[in-house]
Amino acid sequence: MTRQIRIVHHTGYAYAGSVVGSHNEVRMTPRASREQWVMNARIDISPNPWVLSYTDYWGTRVTAFEIREKHARLNVTSTATVEVTRPPVVAPGATWDQLRDARFTDGMVEMLSVSEHVDPGEELCGYAASVAGGVSPAETVYEVIQRIRQQVRYVPGVTHVQTRARDVWTAGAGVCQDMVHVAIGALRTVGIPTRYVSGYLMPSSNPVPGEPRKAASHAWLQYWDGAWMGLDPTNDSMPGEFHVEVGIGRDYSDVPPLRGIYSGGGASEMYVEVEMTVLG
């Protein structure tokens, strides 16, 4: 099924004092792909900035900007309308021999590297290795995701963007990006290339057309099975017509919606509001 979805994402910072200058990057523009047609998209920023737009190394659209005037608040709004079509996909299939070929691993090295941030620890990595010894790569992905869903409960507010995967596994709680980080680390340790996907997910499976719904940023993953295959660990499903893809990277640090530095101003407080509307 094809869906037209409008996303309005407000974010920014309120500062304790006057900021004399700031430099930021925004990754909030949906990706154009075979599954997504970006009908329109714009980024509005206040105060008025100097802007440079480009596509980064991973293929994510970036709006980089600089503000040189004093300000006590930064406001960023991304507005986009996307047509999403995600027909059922049958994976070509990959064997362990193919995944372990030196030429393949060399080309996929960035999506096979296990950083400290995504390393889930010995328990889950040991489980993944035991599973991989007896089934195919695709079956290994399934078994590992089910194990994660048994261990990690979805609990908003218990983690932050710097929380390590091993701490999420030990605590048994986290949010979507945490489940993705845990899965990425475990699957990479057994040689399955895996990448982080940022985007949005309509919070209702049966939304009323034209009715705005409060939403949030969402995360899922893609693993290599002869082609990049999507999987949403939080919802135990493949991405569907209500998933809107924004960015791809090794982990969250490659695709934050808003990142930057500022001079002056003291402490800052971030705000985020996301609204999604199905248009048809």
Q: Looking at the structure, do residues 224 and 260 belong to the same domain, yes or no? A: no
- Within a domain: residue 91? no
What are the DSSP E strand ranges found in the chain?
2-26, 36-46, 50-55, 61-67, 71-85, 153-154, 173-174, 194-201, 213-215, 217-224, 228-231, 243-249, 258-264, 268-278
Structure confidence at residue 1 (pLDDT): 80
Structure confidence at residue 5 (pLDDT): 98
Range of the structural domain that residue 272 is part of: 2-86+256-278
- Within a domain: residue 128? yes
Structure confidence at residue 88 (pLDDT): 86
- Within a domain: residue 226? yes
Q: Looking at the structure, do residues 266 and 127 belong to the same domain, yes or no? A: no
Q: Looking at the structure, do residues 167 and 267 belong to the same domain, yes or no? A: no
> CA-CA distances (angstroms) from residue 204 to 48, 105, 116, 263?
35, 39, 35, 41
Q: Looking at the structure, do residues 138 and 64 belong to the same domain, yes or no? A: no
Q: Looking at the structure, do residues 33 and 103 belong to the same domain, yes or no? A: no
Q: Looking at the structure, do residues 171 and 140 belong to the same domain, yes or no? A: yes
- Within a domain: residue 134? yes
- Within a domain: residue 82? yes
121: left (phi over 0), alpha (psi -120 to 50) or beta: left
Q: Looking at the structure, do residues 136 and 190 belong to the same domain, yes or no? A: yes
Cβ atoms 35, 84 nearer than 8 A = yes
Q: How many domains does the chain have?
A: 2
Structure confidence at residue 276 (pLDDT): 98
Q: Looking at the structure, do residues 109 and 131 belong to the same domain, yes or no? A: yes
Structure tokens at 103: 């030429």
Q: Looking at the structure, do residues 30 and 149 belong to the same domain, yes or no? A: no
Would you give per-residue pLDDT tens digits along the chain (280 residues)? 899 999 999 999 999 999 999 999 999 999 999 999 999 999 999 999 999 999 999 999 999 999 999 999 999 999 999 999 998 889 999 999 999 999 999 999 999 999 999 999 999 999 999 999 999 999 999 999 999 999 999 999 999 989 999 999 999 999 999 999 999 999 999 999 999 999 999 999 899 999 999 999 999 999 999 999 999 999 999 999 999 999 999 999 999 999 999 999 889 999 999 999 999 8
Q: In what order do the strands lie in the sheet with 243-249?
A: 228-231, 217-224, 194-201, 243-249
CATH of the domain at 67: 2.60.40.2250
CATH of the domain at 112: 3.10.620.30
Structure tokens at 238: 């493949």
Q: Looking at the structure, do residues 63 and 186 belong to the same domain, yes or no? A: no
- Within a domain: residue 248? yes
- Within a domain: residue 64? yes
Q: Looking at the structure, do residues 73 and 186 belong to the same domain, yes or no? A: no
Q: Looking at the structure, do residues 211 and 235 belong to the same domain, yes or no? A: yes
